[in-house]
Amino acid sequence: MQSLHPKIAIIGAGNVGSTYAFSLMISGLAREIVLIDKNTALAKGECMDLNHGLSFAHPTRIHPAGFEGCADADIVVITAGANRKPGQNRTELAQDNLEIYKRIIPEILKYTTQAILLVVTNPVDILTYCTLKISGLPSGRVIGSGTVLDTARFRYMLSDHCKVDSSNVHAYIIGEHGDTELPVWSNATIAGMPIEKYSTLYAGLSDYKNVFSDIFLKVKESAGEIIAAKGATSYSIALSLVKITRAILRNENSILPVSTLINDYYQISDVCISIPSLVNRSGVVHYLDLELSKLEQQQFTHSANTLKHIIKTLDI
């Protein structure tokens, strides 16, 4: 059967993959959605459930498939992978999921070398780098979901404290999607005004430094809190993936903190890490050279070196 476009293939029909498929269906961005999972019954069941609601959404062909479903896809989104086990460190999780990716990536490439690969599985920055090396694709067409969700959480919490629409908050979380990520306070603004000034003049936050420190801590801890409460995060990551998908399919030239390969960025090279980047139909066109404070430069270097240390231990 001839493919419909835009076509999105999703590898992994678990919590994130299926919720993304639902969000994608509701958005109307895709004309064809393919769910691929080693548990074929799960993929079939998710597609049946989605199809039964199509009369309330947009016309979309939604079906399960093997890796042949990647053929002619505009974007292949990879959510498959093992969850972190109790007591397992990040290096062990990275190696476990790398072994899964060593099987998945060659299978995808049998059917398409033209699609943009969007990596979601954790640790996402490391697996984005591994996907780039395994696939041999241009770096702009291998993208990690990065700190897009972290940034959305950050903006929401800042907007909540400052009593302003989150769309008026411009602030980024960069670095590793994980323990060493960092907020870029030096570039944060609300409606073009430095966030410290806005907070003091209009939000009544005289103790804004401590407030901001607490907000960033809550951002880092929020995923764990959600997982403890309901077992997994799904809605917000799915919506962040829809945002990245929209930026690509609609050629938006959006600035998003996705994970991408950097070279000579504050003297750091050969690592995929989350940094504000221009995203359009070609994937990542370029990343932005932010003017970071001295402290932020040190934190970013530490984050990058942490990722590089783990990568060195892996058998890519």
User: What is the CATH number for 227?
Assistant: 3.90.110.10
Residue 1 lies in a domain: no
pLDDT per position as a tens digit, 25-80: 999 999 999 999 999 999 999 999 999 999 999 999 999 999 999 999 999 999 99
Is residue 112 located within the same domain as residue 176? no
pLDDT over 90 at 231, yes or no: no
161 within a domain of the structure (yes/no): yes
Single residue among 144, 172, 204 that ends a domain in this structure: 144
Is the model's pLDDT at 205 over the cut of 90?
A: no
Q: Is 177 a known active-site residue?
A: yes
For β-strands 189-190 and 193-194, DSSP reports them as antiparallel
pLDDT of residue 261: 98
Instruction: Evaluate the CA torsion angle 60, 66, 68, 71 in order and state its sign.
Output: positive
Tell me, yes or no, whether 104 and 173 share the same domain. no
Candidate from 112-126, 216-230, 243-257, 285-299 with smallest mean pLDDT: 216-230
256, 282: one domain: yes
In a domain, 2, yes or no: no
In this prediction, residues 103-116 reach a mean pLDDT of 97
The answer to whether position 206 is within a domain reads yes
> Could you give the CA distance from residue 139 to residue 300 in angstroms, rounded to a whole number?
21
From 103, 124, 144, give the residue that closes a domain: 144
Model pTM?
0.95
User: Which has the closest alpha carbon to 188: 170, 174, 203, 213?
Assistant: 170
Residue type, position 304, single letter: A
| pLDDT tens-digit readout, 173-183 | 999 999 999 99
Q: Is-contact 300 182, C-beta < 8 A?
A: yes
Mean pLDDT of 264-272: 96
* Mean pLDDT, the chain, whole residue set: 94
Can you read off the two tokens belonging to residue 18? 């299926």
Same domain (yes/no): 190, 121 = no
Q: What is the pLDDT of residue 47?
A: 98
What is the structure's pLDDT at 96? Answer: 92
Same domain, 216 and 113: no
Count up the domains in the chain and report the number.
2
CATH number at residue 73: 3.40.50.720
Domain limits for position 228: 148-313
Q: Is there a contact between 8 and 24 (Cβ–Cβ < 8 Å)?
A: yes
Confidence of residue 86 (pLDDT cuts 50, 70, 90): low
- One domain for residues 159 and 133: no
Given 105, 127, 144, which residue is the final one in a domain?
144
Instruction: From the candidates 177, 286, 302, 309, give the one annotated as an active-site residue.
Output: 177
- Sign of torsion, CA 202 204 210 216? negative
Burial (Cβ within 10 Å: 0-12, 13-18, ≥19) of residue 59: exposed
CB-CB contact of 244 with 148 (8 Å): yes
CA distance 21 to 31: 12
pLDDT of 271 strictly over 70:
yes
Q: Is 207 a residue whose pLDDT tops 80?
A: no
- More confident call, 228 vs 107: 107
Q: Which residues pair with 67 in a beta bridge?
A: none
- C-alpha torsion angle, residues 98, 100, 105, 110 (rounded to 10): 150
